Amino acid sequence: MAKKGISSSLVNWIDYRLPIFSSIRHSLIDYPTPRNLNYWWNFGSLAGFFLVLQIITGVVLAMHYNPSVEGAFASIEHIMRDVNYGWLIRYVHMNGASFFFVVVYIHIFRGLYYGSYKSPRELLWWLGLIILLLMMATAFMGYVLPWGQMSFWGATVITNLFSAIPGIGSSIVSWLWGGFSVDNALLTRFYALHYLFPFLIVGVVILHIIALHTHGSNNPLGIDRSGPKDSISFHPYYTIKDLFGLSFVLTIFFLVVFYAPNYLGHPDNYIPADQLRTPSHIVPEWYFLPFYAILRAIPDKLVGVIAMVSSIMILFLLPWLDTSKVRSATFRPIYKKIYWFLVIDVVVLTWVGANPPEGNFILIGRVATIYYFTHILVLMPLIGLIEKPRSLPRSISESVFSKSGKVGE
């Protein structure tokens, strides 16, 4: 009892001068959360888990990696064969990146369905998109580090896209390369930035959480909390829910790590980089494939690059492009159906991006690209104007209690 009293006094002493513990308690324990959140809200915390996992495994891998053209590929083999549990750490890091993107993409599509980008959460949405852009940059630079065939040629193709910029494009490419070709200078820079960017992501995630807690979480109904009955504390209700979701996802994750660790990779990346031998089909990692398909769908290089960049940048305009006053697609009969066309379209773009740009794949890619931009720039504003939403519940508690048969209690 005496030890407990001393530790409690120490915590109070620290918290009075630097309110760390009270902030943690407010953010993770007492934080008032809408009582009707479903399992689609688990993916934010899952993304946080995989970010921490990537940083921990990445720091360990960085201790054994050699960022040079001569030693990069060999250092990966050294990690796999000689470092204690190096194979496990690398497979966890490699597949962790894929699972990180899976949960983030689901998190984004959940936000699209339930209107989590609408007022007053515009900055929350923007910060989420900035996290996505930083993730993409980090993942691309990480993909180059093993210095296999796909690493080298992927770096060559993607960095060459800057040459499409009129006037200064070639100078930018030479500056990125640090010379006249992809070599030691680029590899060293990518290694340094790949190590740095996850910590930038952590900083933006903190801002993301602050923005989230400013106006609270959105919910499946898309209505604001109207009183204490609409909320429950985050702990233990949602911590238990998050832990259950985490255990389910980790089961799938470790099945992939132990039984199919290379399934999401490319076999050409187990061949050392060779400048004189171009792979028959250069493809990025699967999480870049929709954007890669948009790039290839347009014959002109500059327009293709603009379209690829615009496919992400227009998402920043969603809070204003969506003209409906109702957030959740649950109460929007037309948008609720059209939404799934966007999901299917992104899946089609992913499939097209994984295949060579020939035959019907070119036509399908162009149609899918046109629909993607039409959906966001035309259909979303138009549907918001003509659609007649269903009536909203008066409160979250009314909706929850009516489903459980407790109305009037």
What is the set of active-site residues?
Answer: 213, 217, 241-242, 285
| Cβ within 8 Å of residue 371, ≥6 positions away | 341, 345
| Closest CA relative to residue 115, chosen from 321, 372, 353, 385 | 321
d(CA 126, CA 354): 29
Q: How many CB atoms lie within 10 A of CB 22?
A: 14
Which residues, other chains included, contact 407 with Cβ-Cβ below 8 Å and sequence gap of 6+? 398, 401
As beta bridge partners, residue 148 has: 272
**370 SS3 class:** helix
Q: Omega of the bond prior to 236 within 30 degrees of 0, cis?
A: yes
Q: What angle, 0 to 180 degrees and rounded to 10, lies between the N-to-C axes of helices 289-297 and 360-374?
A: 100
CB atoms within 10 A of CB 409: 6
Residue 66 backbone dihedrals phi, psi, to 5 degrees: -110, 105
